[in-house]
Structure 1
Amino acid sequence: MIVAGGGSLGGAAPLRVAAEALGAPVVTTTAGKGVLDEDHPLAVGPFLGFAAARKLMEDADVLLVVGSELGDAELPDRLAPRGAVIRVDLDPAQLHKNLRATLPVHADAREALAALAAGLAASAVPAGLAGTERAGERRAAEARAGCLEQAVERGDRWREAQDALRAELPGDVVVVGDSSQVSYLGTAPFWPLSEPRRYLVPVGYSTLGYGLPAAIGARLAEPARPVVALLGDGAFMFSAQELVTGAELGLPLPVVILDNHGFGEIRQNMLDRDIAPYAVDLARPDFAALAQAMGCHGVRVTNAAEAAKQAAAALTAARPTVIVWEVGP
């Protein structure tokens, strides 16, 4: 099976060809989300650290890791695969990081995947691989179901917003998140994407405040493509001042804030360790009024459907629109 990380994004087409030729299920990291269409029968999804994906990786005869350090933010416990491990990475320092490779390949992922796809296409189906595509699809479907079940257990409260926004917004929308529960417990598992580079989110260092400026950057980089920022109130307050930038540039940018009254993940981590929550319940401003004071639109909504309709309307506005949905802690 294949693990595709952020380093594989430029090799989406040959990755698909190779996966289909090998009948190999594909698990992605968060940074690799969408590199294989998540509706593809071999796609497991961005579930690197989930139990069902882990079993798939550890049971495989060969584990091909492309463009990923297998970082501990998503995979806190080291893998123990029973089969051979092939790792492809542009950075030689990553070739054995967190998991020693049986065969390290120091190469650009796009070039390596293209060579692999071409080699598979030019050769006869290797002995023992005939008929594996259906088996691979079955293995992928089983792992995907197991991962989604775990995702529901962890973050079902964030699913409604994803479903509503996905139904209202254009199919090619770029979703920009933050170090927020609505992103890694909501968007990552519950908003399937058909192509890479459509989910922008910080991974690894919990860089709160990424979402709003990254959404502005994405909107400037591809002016014809719709962009939505979807994040929590704690993350938004790290860079709220960038609303002035968005207003100054006249960007049609919906900024959807799911207000759970502070740093929800840190609060939960404290509760899980029997620590009384401290410095995580924040005094928040009136975000809609703050947006208006900075030259943007600002609205409050009471449910996911309203948030989605406001976000769709914001894509044609002459300035950013902050949409606040108070979901509670």
Structure 2
Amino acid sequence: MPTCGEFLVKILEAYGVDTIFGIPGVHTVELYRGLPQTRIRHVTPRHEQGAGFMADGYARASGKPGVCFIITGPGMTNIATAMGQAYADSIPMLVISSVNDRTHLGMAQGRLHELPSQRNLIAGVSAFSHTVLDPKQLPEVLARAFAVFSGSRPRPVHIELPLDVITARMTGKAKAWPLPSRPAAEPQLIAAAAKLLKSAKTPLIIAGGGAADAAPGIQKLAETLDAPVFTTINGKGILPPGHKLALAGNLGMDAAQAELEASDVVLAIGTEFGETEMYPAARPVEVAGKLIRIDIDPLQLVNQLPADIAITADSALAVAALNDAVGSTVQSRKGAERAAATRKKITSKLWPACKTHGRLLEVISKALPDVVIAGDQTEPVYASNQTYEAPKPRSYFNSSTGYGTLGYGLPAAIGAKLGQPDRPSVCLIGDGGLQFSLPELASAVEAQVPLAVVIWNNTGYGEIKAYMMERQIPEIGVDIYTPDFVTIASGLGCKAVRPANIAALHKELVQSAKRKVPTVIEIRAGDSLARELAK
């Protein structure tokens, strides 16, 4: 009879899991016993936070839950930050950990990795946390986790297995349970929303990360209604690059707010109107006309902005129903003209870095078509958030949204490449953020993950320094020592370069997709390449 640990990996395989991120420890080795009997690949990060960020990037790029095996105690405290980022951005992540024997739980006897309660620790960054006290419960608890991922607002789930449960013997067949369907919209609400949209003179659509899987339907609906479309950072790619109805910038900008005020009907799909979208200055979002909100989470529909019509549903199902109700007759409302005018106003107010990093993203996109870009909290990301047009959904994401963690970009880009192996992957990161997760380059070399790591090196925490300067705060702790990234990356087994011009940058980006290890590309603020990008 298989152990519970062996049974577990078979069930995961039945749910379609193909990759697990984890660092084996004495408390989790029994979870690994059955892995060779599956087709699941194991990737070893250098820190549990890296494991969580890899799972996050994997999930965002692939649309499937990222899965981690994490040890008791320090493993869980290490991954909590990554779970916080995934929780804030509604990313499906399954964290499976060990915990001390059932007879030792809560006894405070000084056991290895002992915490008073791992579940209490993780409760705030997970949809739920469950301790499997009886091995027979495992299939049902796993089914609950995948039900969260497939049928409700996706967020991390934590399942912990006591050491004596992991080694307990199991009977029966390891199989996936049938999962619930995604919620469809109430027909009466769809009819009411369609009536409002059809009668609108200046409709506007706002699409967030929760609308990623509804992209074709949103494009069709926008073109039928002739409505401009604003996409959040996680919603980038819902409209294809260059689409005449696409807006730029963020909802905190004057021109975007003016468009909101001029719209008599606003349709918001899969977005929470988060303040982290509004760089450099957040402001309350105000909708002057009627507001229709679609979200899979009913609590989100009564958060911040009350809706005139609130529809709890899967975005793709709701948008499909709206398209059927609205029909296919195109109604001219000067949507393209409105979008062009708003884009022009927003572009005219952008700060100089947006031009520099807009050019950088153009070079990346030209060298690596269909690229997936995972970014950190860094100047190129904040700037690119305003203007970049992703090739498709699930192609551009970063940690400037939601929880806002440094060190995210590199492991997330590794996970993205593993989740979408046929697409090129780029990490966009600063010198400060990279020092949080630099050892993960070794993980990528070991796993033979080709990706480009583009470093914007301004020798410090540049964004925080600027923030302190604006407020006349002494600039303490922001001018940090910056190591030689090219030498370190080379020592870790990567290809590492400092291109002198755009042509050399383009060449290295193209080659990065052909190698079996990461290509680290350092751009120093103020050097010849940075000056050429700024022209």
TM-score, reference length from structure 2 = 0.57
8 A Cα contact 2:262 2:288, kept in partner: yes
Counterpart residue number, 1:55:
258
SS at match of 1:166: helix
2:398 corresponds to 1:192: no
Identify the structure with bigger relative contact order (alpha carbons < 8 Å, sequence gap 6+): 1
Distance 1:191 1:71 in 2: 19
Instruction: Output the amino acid matched with 2:275.
Output: D
8 A Cα contact 2:249 2:256, kept in partner: no
8 A Cα contact 2:248 2:387, kept in partner: no
2:346 corresponds to 1:147: yes
Report the Cα offset of residue 106 of structure 1: 1.1
Report the Cα offset of residue 305 of structure 1: 3.6
Distance 2:480 2:250 in 1: 31
Question: Mapping of 1:277-288 within 5 angstroms?
Answer: 277-288=475-486
Distance 2:306 2:352 in 1: 32
Report the Cα offset of residue 46 of structure 1: 5.2
Counterpart residue number, 2:371:
173
- Of 469, 477, 489, the match for 1:291: 489
8 A Cα contact 2:431 2:458, kept in partner: yes
Counterpart residue number, 1:3:
206
8 A Cα contact 1:29 1:47, kept in partner: yes
Distance 1:248 1:151 in 2: 41
Distance 2:435 2:288 in 1: 46
Deviations along 1:201-238, one digit per CA (max 9) or x if unpaired, are 12122211111111111111121111111211111111
Report the Cα offset of residue 173 of structure 1: 1.1
Counterpart residue number, 1:99:
305
Distance 2:208 2:268 in 1: 8
- Of 25, 36, 52, the match for 2:239: 36
Counterpart residue number, 2:199:
none
2:276 corresponds to 1:73: yes
Residues 223 and 320 of structure 1: is their aligned pair in 2 closer, same or farther, counting only changes over 3 Å?
same
Deviations along 1:105-151, one digit per CA (max 9) or x if unpaired, are 111111111111111126x67xxxx422xx11100111111222223
8 A Cα contact 1:303 1:325, kept in partner: no
Distance 1:182 1:154 in 2: 8
- Of 327, 332, 336, the match for 1:131: 332
- Of 314, 330, 349, the match for 1:108: 314
SS at match of 1:44: coil
SS at match of 1:144: helix
Instruction: Output the amino acid matched with 1:25.
Output: P
Deviations along 1:27-48, one digit per CA (max 9) or x if unpaired, are 0111111111131111113533
Counterpart residue number, 1:164:
363
8 A Cα contact 2:225 2:332, kept in partner: no
- The alignment yields a C-alpha RMSD, in angstroms, of 1.8
- Tell me whether 15-24 or 143-152 shows the greater mean CA deviation: 143-152
Counterpart residue number, 2:132:
none
8 A Cα contact 2:206 2:269, kept in partner: yes
Distance 1:14 1:294 in 2: 45
8 A Cα contact 1:39 1:194, kept in partner: no
Distance 2:353 2:363 in 1: 19
8 A Cα contact 2:273 2:285, kept in partner: no
SS at match of 2:275: coil
Say which one has the larger Rg: 2
SS at match of 2:247: strand
Counterpart residue number, 1:87:
293
8 A Cα contact 1:160 1:304, kept in partner: no
Structure 2, gaps ≥5 residues long: 1-203, 528-535
Report the Cα offset of residue 256 of structure 1: 1.0
Report the Cα offset of residue 328 of structure 1: 4.7
- Of 269, 279, 283, the match for 2:467: 269
SS at match of 1:255: strand
Distance 1:109 1:97 in 2: 18
Instruction: Output the amino acid matched with 2:214.
Output: G
Report the Cα offset of residue 154 of structure 1: 5.7
Distance 1:55 1:267 in 2: 31
Report the Cα offset of residue 294 of structure 1: 1.1
SS at match of 2:349: helix
Counterpart residue number, 1:244:
442
Instruction: Output the amino acid matched with 1:265.
Output: E
SS at match of 1:237: helix
Instruction: Output the amino acid matched with 1:144.
Output: R
Instruction: Output the amino acid matched with 2:296.
Output: L
8 A Cα contact 1:70 1:97, kept in partner: no
Distance 1:33 1:46 in 2: 11
Distance 1:65 1:120 in 2: 16
Report the Cα offset of residue 259 of structure 1: 0.4
Counterpart residue number, 1:201:
398
Distance 2:355 2:339 in 1: 22
Distance 1:237 1:93 in 2: 38
Structure 1, gaps ≥5 residues long: none
2:409 corresponds to 1:219: no
Counterpart residue number, 2:509:
311
